[in-house]
Amino acid sequence: MSFRSKALWAFGVSYLVSTAILMVYLMYTATVNLPSLPDDRSIYWWRDASYGRYILRHTCNETDVVCDTCCYCYTPASHIMADFGDLSEATLTERHCEKRLPQAIIIGAMKSGTYALRTYLSYHPDIAMAYDEPWFWNKPEEFEQGLERYRKMMHYSTPRQVTIEKTPDYYHGEGVPERIIQNLPDVKILMIMKDPVKRAISHYNFERLRTQDFYFPATFEEAVMTADGYVNVHSEYLIQSAYSVFVKRWLRHFPPGRFLAIDGDPFQRDPVPQLQRIEKYLGIRPFFTKDIFVKNSTSGFWCLTKPIYSCVPQSRPHPPHPKVSDSVLMTLYRYFRPLNKQLAKLLEEPSFEWFSY
């Protein structure tokens, strides 16, 4: 190799290394080096790591649609702004609005439909949904700060409303059911699940989009199958779809009357029947009917038209799901069949579509 070639090669390598270091630094500063805010201000700001800054919450004004029986005004669902605006202090006092500990918690494996479920429930007038995912019960650094800190993460609610928070990762967090039941003995759990194979594919697709890992599996098959053609039981994508393993832990502490399982597949096609089940489960008045939903032809998601028009937001474009061979799909469905049967027995709920696959 000539001196010129060596010099060009060295320059190219140094350029790539410098670029990689710069990207890592920018990602770090965007997600970690945000200034902390005191508790009395944090209720007005949302720490958006993807934008590397705090975003001011929306304050209600005369053009907003105000919920007459709630503690907020409505804003269209968005991944960069709070779903609801804040009312004046005088109105909060007049309506007996306080931050209350949750009476229900939404959990579920990643890509099961927890975000869509949260979005729809947020617009029910008898529900006060937490601003963001608190990650309280599965993060020791949060849990150690105590219930008062947790309460401040909730939205203002009236005495007749049900306060709900959503953190999907509670689903598989070690020791989470025990911590919740010890501190919130009357809380109810909403868990959404979907076809375990489809969920695993969606999970892989999501990670493929955001990963910077050079060794990330190039195909879904590589991620869930071993080199000699067996199911990789250690694959994170399959572990999170093994619902019976985690549901068993929850049911040790939450009896069926306090644990509602939701089938994410029919929910995605038509959310109304499942939302009506949840209304009965929570003991709140009927609100969700077919006539207040329309399907967005672009995203494929259902959108609410009442109290305002609002769709489930997409934080980033998702690539099409990878094509998976029929043989791998059949192998995975065979793998999950006994696990699904265990789940059906645990839930006494044989009606989930994919139980019979």
Domain assignment present for residue 15? The answer is no
Neighbours of 114 (CB within 10 A): 24
Question: Residues 128, 52: one domain?
Answer: no
Of 30, 56, 82, the residue at which a domain comes to its end is: 56
Whole-angstrom distance, CA of residue 97 vs CA of residue 105: 20
Residues 46 and 76 in one domain: no
Same domain assignment for residues 46 and 100: no
111 is known as an active-site residue: yes
* Same domain, residue pair 52 and 92: no
pLDDT for 6 equals 52
Q: Flag whether 202 is marked binding.
A: yes
> In the 3-class helix/strand/coil scheme, how is the chain assigned residue by residue?
CCHHHHHHHHHHHHHHHHHHHHHHHHHHHHHCCCCCCCHHHHCCEEEEHHHCEEEECCECCCCCEECCCCCEEECCCCCCCCCEEECCHHHHHHCCCEECCCCEEEECCCCCCHHHHHHHHHCCCCEEECCCCCCCCCCHHHHCCCHHHHHHCCCEECCCCEEEEECHHHHHCCCHHHHHHHHCCCCEEEEEECCHHHHHHHHHHHHHHHCCCCCCCCCHHHHHECCCCCECCCCHHHHCCCHHHHHHHHHCCCCHHHEEEEEHHHHHHCCHHHHHHHHHHHCCCCCCCHHHEEECCCCCCEEECCCCCEECCCCCCCCCCCCCCHHHHHHHHHHHHHHHHHHHHHHCCCCCHHHHC
Residue 337: how many CB atoms within 10 A of its CB?
15
Alpha carbon distance 117, 191 (integer Å): 10
Tell me how far apart the alpha carbons of residues 314 and 78 are, in angstroms, rounded to a whole number: 8
Count of domains for the chain: 2
Q: Is the dihedral of CA 98, 84, 172, 103 positive or negative?
A: positive
* Residue 25 located in a structural domain: yes
Amino acid identity, position 109? A
Report the pLDDT value the prediction gives residue 16, as an integer from 0 to 100: 54
225 closest CA partner among 323, 322, 331: 331
Please give the structure tokens belonging to residue 39: 């508790």
Q: Which residues contact 152 (CB under 8 A, 6 or more apart)?
A: 39, 42, 43, 99
Residue at 8 is within a domain: no
Domain end residue (candidates: 7, 35, 56): 56
Pairing mode, if any, of strands 127-129 and 162-166? parallel
| Structure confidence by residue, pLDDT tens digits, 16-40 | 555 554 444 434 333 334 344 334 3
In a domain? residue 11: no
- Summary mean pLDDT of the chain: 82
Q: How would you label 282-304 residue by residue, b for 16+ Cβ within 10 Å and e otherwise?
A: bebeebbeeeebeeeeeeeebbb
Whether 284 and 226 map to the same domain: the answer is: yes
Q: How far apart are CA 34 and CA 296, in angstroms?
A: 35
Task: Give the active site residue among 6, 99, 111, 166.
Answer: 111
pLDDT score recorded for residue 65: 79
* Domain hosting residue 38, numbered range: 20-56
Q: In terms of C-beta distances under 8 Å and separation of at least 24 residues, what long-range contacts does 309-312 make, across chains too?
A: 309/76, 310/74, 310/76, 310/77, 310/83, 310/119, 310/123, 311/76, 311/77, 312/77, 312/115, 312/116, 312/119, 312/120
Q: Are residues 231 and 352 in the same domain?
A: yes
Q: Beta strands 104-107 and 162-166: pairing type?
A: parallel
- 206, 116: one domain: yes
Indicate if 210 and 224 belong to the same structural domain. yes
For the full predicted model, state whether its pTM sits above 0.85. no
Q: What is the pLDDT of residue 349?
A: 65
Q: Is 9 annotated as a binding residue?
A: no
pLDDT, tens digit, for every residue of 67-113?
A: 888 888 887 655 434 457 777 888 888 889 999 999 999 999 989 99
pLDDT at 266: 94
- Residues 111 and 245 reside in one and the same domain: yes
Q: Is residue 330 part of a domain?
A: yes
CATH of the domain at 174: 3.40.50.300
Low-confidence ranges of the chain (pLDDT < 70): 1-59, 76-83, 212-214, 313-319, 349-350
> Does 208 share its domain with 349?
yes
